[in-house]
Amino acid sequence: MNCDVTEISMYDIYKVFQKNKDCKEIIFKVVNPDLFDDKYSGESVLINNKNCFYRPYKAWIDLAEKFFYKLMTPKFLDEKTVQLTFKKLENNSFHKIDNIEEKYGKDSLFSRINKNEEPEILITYLKALQNVTLSKRKRVLNLGVNKAEEFELIKKAFEKEFFEGEFIGIDYCKTAINEAKNRFLEYKNIKFFSHDINNLDELNLGKFDLIISIGTLQSSNLSLNKTFMNIVQNYLEKDGALILGFPNSRWINGEVIYGAKVPNYNFSEMSLLYKDVVFCKKYLQQKKFRVTLTGKYYTFLTATSIR
């Protein structure tokens, strides 16, 4: 499907996508976004003696994401217009898999994801680590550690704190834990356990200055409220800190797509995300923690004690 959309509104472009949403490829001729530095999306510009609509690349990326397309590299048609190709994403995602080992294991689709290579997630997580003053956190627990990307980033960005601290990672998936162990073989200050978070007491872990859990507490085999309160009450030092990540995205064919997805809805619906985040926030505030919420693809809850 190929058409010139330089002179039509975004609503009309939306209707084109709606009508052709199952096409494997949609091609548009658009105003070259590089021509203007101070225009807003939808402003009128004169192109080849015609009144056209200016739109930045960000607008086209957002449109692609909404309809589960990938925006390919633009091609210049002339100095003032470019060709944009939108390629349909196949519905191939780890989110559909139920078996734990197949979903999160060493050879799974999930194992190919590296959150440290997603700029928005990386920068938000780094800011959370700065906000908890990592130099004060000598014992760090990561629940749902998988292949230990969070520890890898701490090693790179906070080298002194990394080598001075004790780090423990726990995950139910055995192959993921084995992968994490292999990545940190030479480090004596890191331990990994393949264990059910519902039964943490069996490990006699003691208490921690910082607890991290990214994308785990909302797992179907956990009761978030019960698990979360148990962690705070029994595993967090009184002056400790937490960094929790609540997924607000999906990965499809290598693309991270904004918006939490729940069963029985064919669109992003975030009621459960907000409910869980607000519960944790209010509980921690009652326990005298300062709480911040940041992030886009993950909602990062960062909490530090003010007692």
Q: Which residues on neighbouring strands pair with residue 85, listed in sequence order?
A: 27
What letter does residue 73 receive in the DSSP assignment? P
More confident residue, 190 or 21: 190
Q: In this structure, which amino acid lies at residue 49?
A: N
Q: Measured at the alpha carbon of residue 296, what is the angle toward residues 242 and 96, in degrees to the nearest 5?
A: 90
Under DSSP, the state recorded for 131 is H
pLDDT band at 238; cut points 50, 70, 90:
very high
Tell me how far apart the alpha carbons of residues 207 and 95 are, in angstroms, rounded to a whole number. 32
Using pLDDT thresholds of 50, 70 and 90, give the confidence band for residue 94: low
Task: Name the pLDDT band for 124 (thresholds 50, 70, 90).
Answer: very high
Amino acid (one-letter) located at 21: K
State percent of the chain over pLDDT 70: 96
| Cα(69)–Cα(176) distance, integer angstroms | 30
CA distance 179 to 194: 11
CA 17 to chain centre: 26
Percent of the chain past pLDDT 90, that is, above it, reads: 83
Fold classification of 94-305 (topology level): Rossmann fold (3.40.50)
Name the more confident of 129 and 92.
Answer: 129
pLDDT in the model for residue 262 = 77
Of 222, 216, 132, whose CA–CA distance to 169 is shortest? 216
End-to-end CA distance of the chain: 61
DSSP 268-300: ---HHHHHHHHHHHHHHHHTTEEEEEE-SSEEE
d(CA 172, CA 58): 38
Average pLDDT for the chain: 93
